[in-house]
A and B are shown apart, each in its own frame.
Chain A
Amino acid sequence: MRDVIPDIEAAGVSVVILGNGSTPQAARFGQEIAPGLPVYTDPTLQTYRALGARRSLAGILHPRVFLRALQARRSGHRQTGVEGDAWQLGGLFLILPDGAIPYAYHSAHAGDHPAPAEVLENIRRALATSP
């Protein structure tokens, strides 16, 4: 995802990270994982619910989770612990100034992320067709 952030921003879209842990955890995430990006947190999970993000045990124990974890580990990513709601899944949402959401991706299980090139393409397409 990091590789396409300059292209996303060049398309006129800001990238904002939202998690659900504590504010110190958000600060550490911003410093260590997402430097240069604004990071916020919603421990109440209200934003997750409002946007329809899934929350389930099955999503955490899905067989693909273990494959994705192994792939991430081989790429040098290490999960240090769960800092937030253990069962909560995430997603991506393109939100326009009028509140419209022309592109959304809801993770089906832990480690389920769209390909960065797919995200960029969907953003460009959504912006091109939005009024």
Chain B
Amino acid sequence: MSDPRNPSLAELEVRDPVGNPVALRSLWASRPVLLVMVRHFG
């Protein structure tokens, strides 16, 4: 069982710009993804 304070990537959700939850794993389900994690949006 994963630690609920640090769930695995497959269990995580992010939000799209409208606020809808998106399963993180769906981003790379069909093809490879370069995930660019920015420090902030400023």
Binding site for B on A (CB under 8 A): 1, 8, 12-21, 23-30, 33, 38-43, 46-51, 53, 79-86, 88-97, 99, 107, 110, 119, 123, 127
Q: A-B contact count, CB below 8 Å?
A: 148
Give the interface SS of chain A, mostly helix, strand, loop or mixed: mixed
- B35 with A95: CB separation less than 8 A: yes
Complex contacts, A14 vs chain B, CB 8 Å = 27-28, 31-34
- Which single residue of chain B is at the shortest CB-CB distance from A1? B36
Q: Do A47 and B24 form a contact, CB below 8 Å, given A80-B42, A83-B40, A99-B9? A: yes
- B37 with A50: CB separation less than 8 A: no
Nearest-Cβ distance from residue A3 to partner chain B, whole angstroms: 14
- B12 with A46: CB separation less than 8 A: yes
Complex contacts, A51 vs chain B, CB 8 Å = 9, 35, 37
